[in-house]
Amino acid sequence: MFANPGGACSPTPSGVFSGGSLPVAATINQQKPGTALLSDYEGIAAPGQVVYVPLWKNQPGTWTSGLGVQNSTGQSATVTLTFYDMDDNVFGSVTQPLGARAIYVANGVGAAEGSVVVTADRPVAVAVNHVLSISGDGIMSVSGDHR
């Protein structure tokens, strides 16, 4: 899965593993094209229907966030992203249909700074990239808090 704020990270194929009796560990590595900037996050072992993203930035020219939501099931889903500002007020929302195993990427939307709650009618996996685009650039990736 990938989240691509402002084209900051190359699209990376995603996958869903199911079945088997042994645990699987995964770490996803990314590189910002044309730079030595690297980031990684843990694979999402337990997708959820409610996912909390505690940090969201929509400040072009400084930090910008991109969020990838992947439907982890073989059935269509509907996802809603609710954006909150720093005072915990609802700033806006986006509702998106999502095909089986499909990915939706959100960036350039929401409050300038705050959080996001992703809700879905099927289990989804959420990963976020935060990209700094001033003085040397930076990148940070995290998984959402899946419930």
Q: 7-49: per-residue pLDDT in tens?
A: 444 444 455 566 666 555 565 666 666 776 666 666 777 889 9
More confident residue, 76 or 41: 76
Structural domains of the chain sorted by starting position, each given as residue range(s) with its CATH number in brackets: 5-14+22-146 (2.60.290.11)
β-strands 90-98, 48-57 pairing: unpaired
Residue 31: its pLDDT value, please? 66
Q: 98-117: per-residue pLDDT in tens?
A: 999 898 988 877 767 889 99
Tokens matching residue 34: 């044309």
CA distance linking residue 127 with residue 105, whole number of Å = 10
Residue 32: its pLDDT value, please? 66
Residue 84: its pLDDT value, please? 92
Q: CA nearest 114: which of 145, 91, 147?
A: 91
- Per-residue pLDDT for 58 more than 90? no
CA distance linking residue 59 with residue 77, whole number of Å = 30
